[in-house]
C-alpha cells in the first residue's frame, strides 16, 4: 500500500485541483496574495500526508505530519472564506470546498486516533 491509495490523499488531490481551477478566475491583482495562498495551502495537505506516510516508522512523527496536514486544511478553509467575502467564489463552490476540507479533517483525525494501525512496528 502507498499513500496514494489513501482516500484522504485522493480527496486532498481533488481539492487542490478544484481550488486551482476556481482560483484561475480570481483577479490578477490577487496572483501573489490570495491566489498563491489558497493554492499553496490546498496543495500542502497532500504533501503533508505523503510526508506522514514516510514517517510511519515513528508514530509520533506520523501523527505530527498528519496534524500539519490538518492545519493546512484549516488554512485552506480560511482562504476560501476570504475568497468568498471578496466575491471571487460563489456560495455553492465555497460550501462544496469547505465540506471537502472538513471531510479531509475528519479522515486525518481518524488516522491520528488510530495511528498504530498505520505505523510500522518493526
- What's the rounded Cα separation, in Å, for the pair 79 and 104? 16
13 pLDDT band, cuts 50/70/90, is very high
Can you give the residue ranges of every domain in the chain? Answer: 3-118
- In this model, does residue 41 exceed pLDDT 80? yes
Task: Give the domain 3-118 fold.
Answer: de novo design (two linked rop proteins) (1.20.1440)
Q: At what angle do helices 91-113 and 59-85 cross, to 10 degrees?
A: 170
| pLDDT tens for each residue of 52-61 | 999 999 999 9
Residue 14's pLDDT is what? Answer: 98
Sign of CA dihedral 88, 93, 95, 100: negative
Residue 36's pLDDT is what? Answer: 96
The mean pLDDT of 6-31, rounded to a whole number, is 96
Q: What average pLDDT is seen over the chain? A: 96
Residue 121's pLDDT is what? Answer: 55
| pLDDT tens for each residue of 56-106 | 999 999 999 999 999 999 999 999 999 999 999 999 999 999 999 999 999
pTM of the model: 0.93
Amino acid at each position: 500500500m502507498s499513500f496514494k491509495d489513501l482516500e484522504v490523499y485522493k480527496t486532498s488531490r481533488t481539492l487542490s485541483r478544484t481550488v486551482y481551477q476556481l482560483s484561475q478566475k480570481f483577479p490578477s491583482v490577487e496572483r501573489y496574495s490570495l491566489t498563491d495562498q489558497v493554492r499553496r495551502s490546498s496543495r500542502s495537505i497532500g504533501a503533508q500526508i505523503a510526508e506522514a506516510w514516510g514517517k510511519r516508522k515513528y508514530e509520533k512523527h506520523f501523527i505530527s505530519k498528519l496534524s500539519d496536514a490538518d492545519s493546512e486544511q484549516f488554512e485552506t478553509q480560511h482562504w476560501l472564506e476570504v475568497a468568498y467575502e471578496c466575491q471571487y467564489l460563489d456560495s455553492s463552490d465555497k460550501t462544496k470546498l469547505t465540506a471537502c476540507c472538513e471531510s479531509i479533517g475528519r479522515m486525518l483525525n481518524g488516522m491520528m486516533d488510530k495511528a498504530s494501525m498505520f505505523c510500522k512496528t518493526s
